Amino acid sequence: MFHYLLKRLAFMGLTILAVSGLTFFLMNIIPGGTAELILKHTVLELEEIPTSEQIAEISSQYNLHDPLYIQFGRWLADALHGDLGSSYILKKPVTYLLLLRLPATIYLALASMTIAIALGVPLGVICAVKENKFTDYLLRIVTLVGVSMPGFWLALLLILLFSVTLKLVPVAGYGGIKYLILPAIALSMHTMAVTLRMVRTGMLEVMNQPYIAFATSKGLPPRYIIIKHALKNALLPTLTVLGLSLGYMLGGAVVIETIFAWPGVGSLLVDAITARDIPLVQGCVLTIVGIFVTINLFVDLIYTYVDPRIRYG
């Protein structure tokens, strides 16, 4: 177990390093662009062309003359000390900006996850119990549309219906639960549909097991069998999918946050990319990938506890 954990942690580190490195070199693919970019965001007026002295000055100030791998090494060394540099446009430390924006993303992701599980699991059970009946077909069609529909289109439709036409909730913004409802629903749809499918499949598989037949023959009430015997086992594969879904949510959050002007890491990333703000892009990518791999490690570890049949070497 300890050996397995060590191996996983090493791979996690490697993944984060590789993604950061790749992003860093890609963002710097246009040579000399960085100094001009910083100038554009700081000293220069609009349309003003930077002089070569200015570029030289900024380059030496930010150590841009060094080869890329040295620059990356420096960034990495700082990052290990918790310093992610400072944003070119917002002129604030990246760590500060990320800590400012992270709660909103976590808030949104947790709300969506709650909706997805609260709807997906019971509906999946209903589908399995009513296999090949009308309810099952209806829910399967909903699921099919749910996985196929782009999250951003659902978001736009929700705004169109609940904000523009019915005027029940605000169009966009950040605040109380009123603001949370629409983005959370839009973000949860895909995960909800996937959860429903997984639970349905899992339940149908488990229901054919001998121990279910045994429980039925003992005369246990069906409700008890479904929840205690079947669902408990059917939920195991769902757990992995939920771990992956959280990654999907962090990705999907980029678009949803942008639509709803939700001040999270996703919309920060889009702003950073549009402005080519390299340290900020680096920071956002590092944060999102870091969260994603950590969650997946935890899901795998939890797995060994809930399913004693699985043991890692």
Partner 1 sequence: MVKIMKSANYFGWHPGPFPQINWAPYHKILTNRTVTVCLMILGVMVMLSFLAPLITPYDPNAIDLKSSLQSPSVDHPLGTDHLGRDVLSRLLYGAKTSFLISLSVVVFALSLGIILGGAAGYFGGLADEILSRVIDIFLSFPGIIFALALIGALGSSVLNLIIALGLVHWASYARLMRGQVLSVKNNDYVSSARVIGASDRRILIKHILPNALAPVIVLATLDMGHVILSAAALSFLGLGIPPSVPEWGSMLNAGKEFMRTAPYLTIFPGLALTITVVLFSLLGDGFREILDPESEVMGLGAA
Candidate ranges 122-130, 175-183, 209-217, 285-293; the one touching partner 1 (CB under 8 A): 285-293
The three-state secondary structure class of 272 is: helix
- Check binding of 310 to partner 1 (CB under 8 A): no
What distance in Å separates the CA atoms of residue 39 and residue 213, rounded to the nearest whole number?
A: 73
| Other residues' Cβ atoms within 10 Å of the Cβ of residue 27 | 19
Task: Please select the residue that binds partner 1; options are 56, 100, 157, 213, rule is CB under 8 A.
Answer: 157
Q: Across 231-275, where does the E strand assignment appear?
A: none
Residue 22 CB contacts under 8 Å (≥ 6 apart), including other chains: none
The correct pick among 11, 214, 224, 298 for binding partner 1 (CB under 8 A) is: 11
Q: Candidates 129, 170, 269, 279: give the one binding partner 1 (CB under 8 A).
A: 269
251 near partner 1, rule: CB under 8 A: yes
Among positions 128, 231, 241, 268, the unique one binding partner 1 when judged by CB under 8 A: 241
**Rounded to whole angstroms, how far apart are CA atoms 130 and 241?**
23
Contact 144, 172 (CB under 8 A): no
Q: How far is the CB of 130 from partner 1 (least distance, A)?
A: 16
Q: Of residues 83-112, which lie at the interface with partner 1 (CB under 8 A)?
A: none
Residue 281 Cβ, how far from partner 1 at the closest point, in Å?
Answer: 6
Q: Contact at 8 Å (CB) between 250 and 188?
A: no
Q: Is 196 exposed, middle or buried (0-12, 13-18, 19+ CB in 10 A)?
A: buried
* Rg for the chain, CA atoms, rounded: 24
**Residue 250 interacting with partner 1 (CB under 8 A):** yes
Residue 220: CB atoms within 10 Å: 14
**Which CB sits closer to partner 1, 151 or 183?**
151
* 197 or 229: CB nearest partner 1: 197
Contact residue for partner 1 among 247, 299, 303, 304 (CB under 8 A)? 247
Of 49-57, 112-120, 179-187, 190-198: span binding partner 1 (CB under 8 A): 190-198
Tell me: does residue 5 bind partner 1 (CB under 8 A): no
Crossing angle of the two packed helices 177-207 and 151-158, in degrees rounded to 10 = 130
By the rule CB under 8 A, 21 interacts with partner 1: no
**Are 250 and 292 in contact, with CB atoms under 8 Å apart?**
yes
Beta pairing partners, 86: 93
Residues that bind partner 1 (CB under 8 A): 11, 14-15, 18-19, 22-23, 26-30, 144-145, 147-153, 156-157, 159-160, 164, 194, 197-198, 201, 204, 237, 241, 244-245, 247-248, 250-252, 254-255, 258-259, 269-270, 272-274, 276, 281, 285, 288-289, 292-293, 296
